[in-house]
Chains A and B, each alone.
Chain A
Amino acid sequence: MRGDSVFPQLEQLLPLVSKPIQYVGGELGAVVKPWESATVRWVLSYPDAYEVGLPNQGVQILYEVLNEREDVLAERTYAVWPDLEQLMRERGVPQFTVDAHRAVGDFDLFGLSFSTELGYTNMLTELSLAQIPLLAADRDESHPIVVAGGHAAFNPEPIADFVDAAVLGDGEEAVLEITDIVAAWKREGSPGGRDEILLRLAKTESVYVPRFYDVDYLPDGRIQRVVPNRPGVPFRVHKRTTMDLDAWPYPKKPLVPLAETVHERFAVEIFRGCTRGCRFCQAGMITRPVRERSITTVAQMVHDGLEFSGFTEVGLLSLSSADHSEIGDICSGLADQYEGTNVSLSLPSTRVDAFNIDLAQELARNGRRTGLTFAPEGGSERIRKVINKMVTEEDLIRTVTTAYSNGWRQVKLYFMCGLPTETDEDVLQIARLAHNVIKSGRQATGSKDIRCTVSIGGFVPKPHTPFQWAPMERPEVIDARLKALKNEINSDRSLGRAIGFRYHDGEPSLIEGLLARGDRRVGAVIRKVWENGQRFDGWSEHFSYPRWVDACAEVLPGLGVDLEWFTTREREQSEVLPWDHLDSGLDKDWLWQDWQDALTEYEQDDCRWTPCFDCGVCPSMDTSIQIGPTGHKLLPITPVNTGLRVPAGA
């Protein structure tokens, strides 16, 4: 029977696999509804291991928003590790939800959230274990509608063969709208089958249905055009923007897992969007405009979330948290409210700015000063202008020195390697910067007991950014630069001893680059590499570069392109990009101009404090910046009765 639990079969396998707790559910905040109580049933997935997928905010928010509707049920599924996958195949146990252990294939809609492209192979594992045909074209009415979301869905072309639909942008309103459309269609007796429901979704102009678009190619391999292949389907599909975050204060009931996960904290998004304009940052580009949550809503969410979950750590999240118009009052207000309790507050994603030290000081009142992270991203002044990360070396040294003087012993500096126009010298400057950081820190504190960690990630050009046209650097070049940098850091033994060095080699970035800017032809590579056993691409112990290179070599030449064509090739202004028909609101001409500005090292200021620079988002999406200050202050929490509570919802 549809909706039956497969737990009895699964249970037999659990004693045979590692960390079985990740497959049994039972989280606080989890919702199990009777199958028959719902008209529309969603299964949501973050296609990575449970420990990574569970804390994902996007999935948690949609899960809660959907389950609040009486006629809807939503459950969750995650990627199973290879040990369980093998047993499930042997015993015929299907991909299951962790909530009621129902078969994923039984649901109406299967939503997958992709923060990165590295979940694509895991999606194929989930589909195949769910006994859902891998190719959307092979599915019929008995199969769920497979919907992709998350940042990677702004270019879903590499997975266009596997998904039925993709949604760009904020999900909370989009899932409800899709739910309503599916509910109406089901009530009418599902007229016209799968084709009809997909057409109804496509007509909203905010759900992309790849099968309704044809892609034509030029003889040289570039795309000639992407056009709708049936009436009523829009030429371009637009992203969704949820305005007024105070009206959407989710998660209210965060999921609290029994298993250990990567983030053991209650996270509150204090704003969405970012107009700092860092040119490499896809998140900053595609989530515009900035929409703040008010100081009072933030505080209420922190209070309710802590009380519900029992977490003792709160993260105030956003793309650049110190930019909230009332961040000072938020930090000091919350620090006052939770002083003397065991609650600790943290503010990830801050800029290099002395103001942040003040904030960090406030938040550290309750806890230990463990470490601060700053992201100058580029080693040289020049490259920082290219990427529009407006930080001078002076700023950085001053900020870090202040941190050391205020009792922090450990500072982490985050950089990227492989940026457009980057030279060996730009990367070697990271060493000089780190040396200066330690020198100034020792001078300011009079102590040798300070450290700094240099952490380097590989740059991956992403769609809908000014760097979408940029060539990637070859992995050998990246690896050579990193090696030279390491030597340079250690060239001074005394300073080098205080500097930690962490990096990723260039190969995984190249594959991420293939998946990020690929077109529909890359789908065959994903399928091939998955068939050859590739899984969990975000995990270095599972990622296999040779397997990807082999799959590319097997599949792409027949299509007239290759791995380099997708990655290390620079695009021209006139080229039709695979995602041009997907509208993030950003004006392509503005993006091109910003790319030209990058090449001439021209900096672009933030539109929150300087005039609009016409990126195009607000007018085309009919949105506008929503920022404070509201002028509200947080009141001290009156110590309510300290008696026992019998919490609901467990």
Chain B
Amino acid sequence: MGRTKNQPTGGQAPVVQRIRLRYTKRGPLRFTSHRDFARAVERAIHRAGVPIAFSQGFTPHPKISFASAAPTGVASEAEYLEIGLRERVEPAELCRALDAALSPGLDVIEAVEAVAPGSLADRITASLWRIELPGVTDEQLAAAVAAFVAQSEVLVERMTKQGRRTFDTRDAVVSIEAVSSQTSPPGVVVTAPCAILDLVVRQVTPSVRPDDVLSGLRVVADLEPSAPHSLKSARATRLAQGTLTPQGEIVDPLDADREPVAIGER
């Protein structure tokens, strides 16, 4: 067969299908950095025999784009990436194959063909975080949250790639709530005392991460866990991310690509 128009000289096969995936970073593997994860995904794609498309050029790269990257050490139930394929596959099969090719804890839990316009990244404007705070009592946390909410601005400092920066953590926080540790969902192992915090944070620049909000709680209320715990050993999990609605809810970024019937049935 001769070359088609889409296939430039010396080139790689064109992308015929784009698939969006939701994956997790669970348990010990939450310490995977974004770079580590990117390498692991690339290998998993080879292991699973995924017909990945490559970029053009002297050193072709596989077509993988990550919509988000939870900070190293932060767990996530809702990370997203998109891959470009040179052959069509069944998304559900791809999901199963990739999941089996990745270490347990890095779990691919959903795959949807990209059909709706707009990039994944455009659909992500906020995240729901849950933070477990060993060494902090429910009362301590409730008091700190109340103090935080009462402020209109809570400045914290963090080292960024640009150096030490001071920024506001209050404005990006859409909601912040101390969840009673009694009501913690099944599967979450709690060693007492361990207060739990739920947070909805808008995506802003510089980004406000869970640990920044904890720094904010320390600033407004001297929140400090009892020894040997520290705020640094708090365990954060991204439970969801997506488009923030005016009602403060987060819409799954894959919803737009799902067939209309599928939404109600899920």
Contact = CB atoms under 8 A, between A and B. Distances in A.
Interface of A: 7-8, 11-16, 19-21, 23-28, 91, 256, 258-260, 264, 306-312, 342, 368, 642-648, 650
A647 B32 CA distance: 21
17 contacts: A8-B191, A12-B134, A14-B73, A16-B230, A19-B33, A21-B32, A28-B43, A258-B36, A258-B37, A310-B43, A310-B45, A643-B49, A644-B89, A644-B93, A645-B49, A646-B96, A647-B47
Nearest to A25: B28
Interface of B: 28-29, 31-33, 35-37, 39-40, 42-51, 54, 58-60, 72-73, 87, 89, 93-94, 96-97, 100-105, 134, 191, 228-230, 232-233
B29 A258 contact: yes
Given A21-B33, A25-B28, A256-B43, A645 B229 contact: no
Contacts of A256: 43
Contact of B104 (A21, A642, A650): A650
Contacts of A14: 31, 73
Given A26-B105, A258-B32, A650-B104, A16 B233 contact: yes
Contacts of B233: 11-13, 15-16
A647 B101 contact: yes
Contacts of B32: 21, 258
A203 B126 CA distance: 68
A19 B59 CA distance: 28
Query: DSSP majority for the A interface?
Result: loop
A221 to B, nearest CB: 50
Nearest to A10: B28
Contacts of B49: 642-645
B51 A642 contact: yes
Contacts of A260: 35-36, 39
B224 to A, nearest CB: 15
Given A644-B50, A645-B47, A7 B73 contact: no
B48 to A, nearest CB: 6
- Most B CB contacts (10 A, CB to CB) among A8, A310, A646 go to A310
A21 B47 contact: no
Nearest to B236: A15
A26 B29 contact: yes
Contact of A644 (B35, B94, B104): B94
Contacts of A7: 28
| 4 A-B pairs closest in CB distance | A310-B43, A310-B47, A24-B28, A310-B46
B101 A650 contact: yes
B28 A650 contact: no
- Most A CB contacts (10 A, CB to CB) among B87, B103, B191 go to B103
Nearest to B47: A310
A43 B42 CA distance: 30
A380 B197 CA distance: 71
B89 A91 contact: no
Contacts of B59: 368
Contact of A20 (B40, B73, B97): B73
Contacts of B100: 646-648, 650
A645 B48 contact: yes
B79 to A, nearest CB: 15
Contacts of A644: 48-50, 89, 93-94, 97
B192 to A, nearest CB: 13
Given A11-B28, A26-B103, A258 B40 contact: yes
Nearest to A649: B100
Contact of B87 (A16, A306, A642): A642
B185 to A, nearest CB: 19
A76 to B, nearest CB: 15
Contacts of A259: 36
A25 to B, nearest CB: 7
Nearest to A9: B228
- Most A CB contacts (10 A, CB to CB) among B28, B58, B60, B73 go to B28
Given A14-B73, A644-B50, A645-B47, A650 B103 contact: yes
Contacts of B229: 12
A24 B29 contact: yes
Contact of B228 (A23, A91, A264, A309): A91
A259 B28 CA distance: 13
Given A27-B103, A644-B50, A310 B36 contact: no
Contacts of A645: 47-49, 97, 101
B85 to A, nearest CB: 11
A648 B134 CA distance: 37
A579 B124 CA distance: 66
Contacts of B228: 12, 91
B31 A20 contact: yes
A311 B29 contact: no
B47 A24 contact: no
Nearest to B49: A645
B42 A21 contact: no
- Most A CB contacts (10 A, CB to CB) among B39, B89, B94, B134 go to B39
A25 B72 CA distance: 15
Contacts of B230: 16
A484 to B, nearest CB: 40
B73 to A, nearest CB: 5
A643 B90 CA distance: 10
A650 B102 contact: yes
Given A12-B134, A309-B43, A342-B60, 18 more contacts: A12-B228, A13-B233, A24-B28, A26-B103, A258-B29, A264-B39, A310-B42, A310-B43, A310-B47, A310-B101, A311-B43, A368-B59, A643-B49, A644-B93, A647-B48, A650-B47, A650-B102, A650-B103
A568 B32 CA distance: 47
A647 B96 CA distance: 10
Nearest to A98: B28
A340 to B, nearest CB: 11
Nearest to A30: B103
A307 B44 CA distance: 10
Contacts of A21: 31-33, 36, 72
A258 B103 contact: yes
Nearest to B59: A368
Nearest to A306: B46
Nearest to B28: A24
Nearest to A644: B97
Contacts of A28: 43, 47, 103
Nearest to A643: B49
A150 B228 CA distance: 40
A521 B187 CA distance: 55
- Most A CB contacts (10 A, CB to CB) among B35, B46, B73, B89 go to B46
A26 B106 CA distance: 10
Contacts of A8: 191
Contact of A309 (B37, B47, B103, B134): B47
Contacts of A24: 28-29, 31
Contacts of B31: 14, 20-21, 23-24
Nearest to B96: A646
A325 B59 CA distance: 34
Nearest to A20: B31
Contacts of A91: 228
A643 B88 CA distance: 10
